[in-house]
Amino acid sequence: MTLLQGIAASSGIAIAKAYCLVEPDLSFTKQSIDNTDAEITKFEAAIAKSVEELKDIQKIAERELGAEEAAIFDAHILVLNDPELINPIKDNINAEKVNAEHALKETTDMFIAMFEGMDNEYMQERAADIRDVTKRILSHLLGVKVVNPSTISEEVIVIAEDLTPSDTAQLNRKYVLGFATDIGGRTSHSAIMARSLEIPAIVGTGEATTKIQDGDLVIVDGLNGQLHINPSAELIAEYETAAEKYEAQKAEWAKLVNEKTLTADGEQVELAANIGTPEDLEGVINNGGEAIGLYRTEFLYMGRDQLPTEEEQFEAYKKVLEGMEGKPVVVRTLDIGGDKELPYLQLPEEMNPFLGFRAIRLCLEEQEIFRTQLRALLRASTFGDLKIMFPMIATLGEFRQAKAILEEEKEALIAAGEKVSETIEVGIMVEIPSTAVQADQFAKEVDFFSIGTNDLIQYTMAADRMNERVSYLYQPYNPAILRLVKMVIDASHREGKWTGMCGEMAGDEIAIPLLLGLGLDEFSMSATSILKARSQILQLKKSDMVKLAESALEMGTAEEVMEAVQKACK
């Protein structure tokens, strides 16, 4: 029995067998071969195994994910049967007298480069297929297992070094009961996704992948951040009781689903949800979300190998707007970069991706990507109450430029006879300290602010949100952060505008009383946190919280603030 302590990333308790999602080591060296016939036979056997494996995966994918998702494997089987690819590899083994691994890699690298260089989307996709197939054949040549999370077909807990947002999006909700990772913090996107998928998760355990083998029984305690490996029968029984208790607590909160969010002295605030895909809507409705405060549209762009078309985006936005039946929907334009990559854009690697070419910076440069999204949004705007927000705004110039592009697209659509709503609010995320400090100037031009504390805290404290070693600096209650939040809220109110918060801080039990006191108008959080937050706010008096917040702003440390909140809200 082993216990690993990590960071509680998504609440709940899960007990199941481990499924280790580790990147296989496919390294090899170039070798000279005398018996090339035997090498070719080995290569052919690896191909046969790959085809067999793909057929199995395809069957599972068709059953679990549908025919469309499964079709990708057809393309891979076609590649494996294509003599134009396979024969040159065999020729290479014969001519160069080299091992199959080397001949394979050399030949497929050449094809990949050729397809990638073509000015044709279809051909560029073939490069991705060849890359995948190469990996599969190599794994059979080297006798290493390649894992594929989309084919999981029994209840498991996924163990990984890290889960990228696109890995997370591919997880089958039916079978993945929870996950635990070696790295990451509470605001890494895998943690955020886990909360919207409503699966218990722990991140930053440091060594889950080294301590856990496939098939080990594990308990994910997403309430306390504890990961138990091969627990005793007593501990399992204890956790089963704890899980029941947690479910009972959730049932209590569920009674508030149709209630307004009012403080004990009658002040109303809005509790909104953060979503990543239209599929998250159900959770928003079931959890009594009064709005969508952040739609992270980048998930539309992930887990695929090309950009989504305007039409695909239009359908997704329309679905969300219609699903919310006239309630506000704040859609954030593409925020790619940082820990969210789009391999098909082939952006150069950066030393500091969180400080690099991401979000609005990329959109203002790659304008066609940005304009396509804006057109889709504008066309969808008549289906509900759309608000558009730009991420990672650092200067007023960036906001003006983004807004001007939006206006251009709007005028062009209207000129082409399309209907566009006349009441779309346009706001920004405040997640860079420069923007918080200059909020008074921004407030004159934007319709609203939404404070993105996940980034605002990392940039203010200079502490990477993905790095568990500096996670002690992720301090939402630090008076420095509270002062920035106050500056933003006050600036917006002076101009008759509103401020929301869509960083994880908005759903934090200790932060909520402070944010109420600072005058935050909208709290946007994982849908699963809404009812708990509502039950908390019903107990609090706004007038008391104003005093609490005022005193917190004058305190020295985050710990002092935390103690003061705990004392005031006992």
Residues forming the site for ligand PEP (CB under 6 A): 187, 294, 296, 335, 431, 452-455, 502-503
Q: Applying CB under 5 A, does 289 fall inside the site for Mg ion? A: no
To the nearest whole angstrom, how small is the minimum distance from the Cβ of residue 395 to ligand PEP?
Answer: 17
Q: Are residues 72 and 155 in contact, defined by beta-carbon separation less than 8 angstroms?
A: no
Question: Active site includes 502?
Answer: yes
Number of residues that bind Mg ion (CB under 5 A): 3
Q: Which is nearer to Mg ion, 298 or 431 (CB)?
A: 431
Handedness of CA 462, 464, 467, 471 (dihedral sign): positive
Question: Judged by CB under 5 A, which of 452, 479, 507, 517 binds Mg ion?
Answer: 452
78 contacts: CB under 8 Å, gap ≥ 6 = none
Q: Is 165 in the site for Mg ion (CB under 5 A)?
A: no
Bridge-partner residues for 275, per DSSP?
295
> How far is the C-alpha of 340 from the C-alpha of 134, rounded, in Å?
25
Least separation, in Å, of the C-beta of 390 and ligand PEP? 12
In the bound state with ligand PEP, the residue whose beta carbon lies nearer, of 281 and 502, is 502
Residues ≥6 apart with Cβ < 8 Å to 17: 154, 155, 156, 157, 214, 215, 216, 217, 218
CB closer to ligand PEP out of 225 and 338: 338
Pairing of strands 217-221, 522-526: unpaired
How does DSSP assign 506-548, residue by residue? GG-TTHHHHHHHHT--EEEEEGGGHHHHHHHHHH--HHHHHHH
Of Mg ion, ligand PEP, none, which one does residue 502 interact with (CB within 5 to 8 Å by kind)? ligand PEP
Would you count residue 339 as binding Mg ion (CB under 5 A)? no
The contacts found for 33-36 with CB under 8 angstroms, 24 or more apart, are 33/93, 33/97, 33/98, 33/99, 34/97, 36/93, 36/94, 36/97
Active-site residue, from 76, 189, 228, 363 = 189
Tell me how far apart the terminal alpha carbons of the chain are, to the nearest angstrom.
36
Which DSSP letter does residue 304 get? S
Applying CB under 5 A, the span of 276-284, 448-456, 487-495, 520-528 interacting with Mg ion comes to 448-456
Concatenate the DSSP letters of all residues of 41-69 into one string: HHHHHHHHHHHHHHHHHHHHHHHHH-HHH
Nearer to ligand PEP, 73 or 523 (CB): 523
DSSP assignment letter at 101: H
Q: How far is the CB of 358 from Mg ion (least distance, A)?
A: 9
Asked if 338 touches Mg ion (CB under 5 A), the answer is no
Q: Which is nearer to Mg ion, 336 or 558 (CB)?
A: 336
Interface segment toward Mg ion; rule CB under 5 A; list 96-104, 168-176, 430-438, 478-486: 430-438
CB of 523 to Mg ion, least distance (A): 16
Nearer Cβ to ligand PEP (129/280)? 280
Choices 182-190, 241-249, 308-316, 449-457 (CB under 5 A): range interacting with Mg ion: 449-457
User: Catalytic annotation on 76?
Assistant: no
Minimum gap (Å) between residue 131 Cβ and Mg ion: 30
- CB within 8 Å of 177: residues ≥ 6 apart: 14, 15, 16, 155, 156, 157, 199, 200, 220
Nearest-angstrom CA–CA distance, 94 and 100: 10
Candidates 1-9, 239-247, 264-272, 447-455 — which segment interacts with Mg ion by CB under 5 A?
447-455
Active-site pick, 76, 102, 228, 502: 502
CB distance 158 to 149 below 8 Å = yes
The whole-angstrom separation of Cα 307 and Cα 344 is 8
Closest distance to Mg ion from the beta carbon of 361 (Å): 13
Told to check if 455 binds Mg ion by CB under 5 A, we report yes
Near Mg ion by CB under 5 A, which window of 51-59, 179-187, 242-250, 426-434? 426-434
CA nearest 477: which of 429, 523, 510?
Answer: 510
**Residues near 368 by beta carbon (within 8 Å), at least 6 away in sequence:** none
**Residue that has been written with the tokens 């080294």 in this structure:** 210
Smallest distance, ligand PEP to C-beta of residue 453, A: 5
Give least dist CB 331 to ligand PEP, A: 13
By beta-carbon proximity to ligand PEP, the closer residue of 157 and 466 is 466
Residue 276 interacts with Mg ion (CB under 5 A)? Answer: no
Residue 385 or 431 with smaller CB distance to ligand PEP = 431
Which residues contribute to the site for Mg ion (CB under 5 A)?
Answer: 431, 452, 455
Active-site positions read 189, 502
